[in-house]
Chain A
Amino acid sequence: EPEVTQTPSHQVTQMGQEVILRCVPISNHLYFYWYRQILGQKVEFLVSFYNNEISEKSEIFDDQFSVERPDGSNFTLKIRSTKLEDSAMYFCASSEALWRLKAFFGQGTRLTVV
């Protein structure tokens, strides 16, 4: 079965540094998502992306966050100035079409801010 791939699997960064989390969605998918899971808490929606623009974002997704699909294959999440509370597992997901109601998730990137 095709897979969503995320890199790196684990990233450690210093507070205040910029970090970019990378995802390669499944090639014919059109809808892309980022979710995060802080340790011990629920998986939370961050943002959805379609047709090269954000279609929906949560209140968590503030000006420190941005997403991009720079080359038609990668989908990135950038955090401009990381805070300790950004430490979490970040999941990328993609979907071929909304009506299929099936999202494929990557294995996650564990971000640790020190």
Chain B
Amino acid sequence: AQSVTQLGSHVSVSEGALVLLRCNYSSSVPPYLFWYVQYPNQGLQLLLKYTSAATLVKGINGFEAEFKKSETSFHLTKPSAHMSDAAEYFCAVSVNAGGTSYGKLTFGQGTILTVHP
């Protein structure tokens, strides 16, 4: 079975500072990895995904993530935080175990990002 661990339930940065949200995964087969963002009173929105092509994945709003198999990590970064980035971020994994199971996502516990002026 696959699992995801997000290190840090809360991360606080200053506007303009680097954003780094950590995610480690566990999977017995090659995973697909995702970052979702949830703004207040909204649904989960896909930021980016890794699907076994390039290990550095670029997403929306200037975010990117790097798949590191040796470290079983998929950390999310953004060079310069904006106030509008304040939200909750979820890392998730799915695996192609046959049939429709790779439609199912297993989530981490989420990281709340706060951006200070």
Q: How far is the CB of A101 from chain B (nearest CB, A)?
A: 6
Contact of B109 among A42, A93, A104, A107 (CB under 8 A): A42
Q: How far is the CB of B23 from chain A (nearest CB, A)?
A: 13
Residues of B within 8 A of A93 (CB): 44
- Asked if A33 meets B104 with Cβ closer than 8 Å, knowing A107-B42, A108-B43, the reply is yes
Contact B46 A56 (CB under 8 A): no
Residues of A within 8 A of B107 (CB): 35, 42-44
Residues of A within 8 A of B44 (CB): 43, 91, 93, 105
- Within residues 46 to 76 of chain A, which ones have a CB less than 8 A from any CB in chain B? 48, 50, 55-56
Contact A55 B109 (CB under 8 A): no
User: Contact string, B10-48, partner A, CB cutoff 8 A, digits 1/0?
Assistant: 000000000000000000000010101000011111100
- Asked if A56 meets B41 with Cβ closer than 8 Å, knowing A42-B109, A103-B46, the reply is no
- Asked if A55 meets B108 with Cβ closer than 8 Å, knowing A4-B43, A102-B46, A105-B36, the reply is no
Q: How far is the CA of A9 from the CA of B34 in the complex (A)?
A: 26
User: Contact string, A83-114, partner B, CB cutoff 8 A, digits 1/0?
Assistant: 00000000101010010011111111000000
Q: Let me know if A28 is at the binding interface, CB within 8 A.
A: no
- Counting contact residues on chain B (CB < 8 A from A), the size range is 20 to 34
Q: How far is the CB of A113 from chain B (nearest CB, A)?
A: 21
Q: How far is the CA of A105 from the CA of B43 in the complex (A)?
A: 5
Contact B43 A33 (CB under 8 A): no
- Within residues 67 to 117 of chain B, which ones have a CB less than 8 A from any CB in chain A? 90, 92, 94, 99-110
Contact B43 A56 (CB under 8 A): no
Contact B32 A48 (CB under 8 A): no
Residues of A within 8 A of B92 (CB): 43
Query: Which residues from chain B sit less than 8 Å from chain A, CB to CB?
Result: 32, 34, 36, 41-46, 49, 51, 90, 92, 94, 99-110
Query: Which residues from chain A sit less than 8 Å from chain B, CB to CB?
Result: 3-4, 6, 9, 31, 33, 35, 41-45, 48, 50, 55-56, 91, 93, 95, 98, 101-108
12 sampled A-B residue pairs with Cβ under 8 A: A31-B103, A35-B105, A35-B107, A41-B109, A44-B107, A45-B106, A48-B103, A93-B44, A102-B46, A102-B49, A107-B43, A108-B43
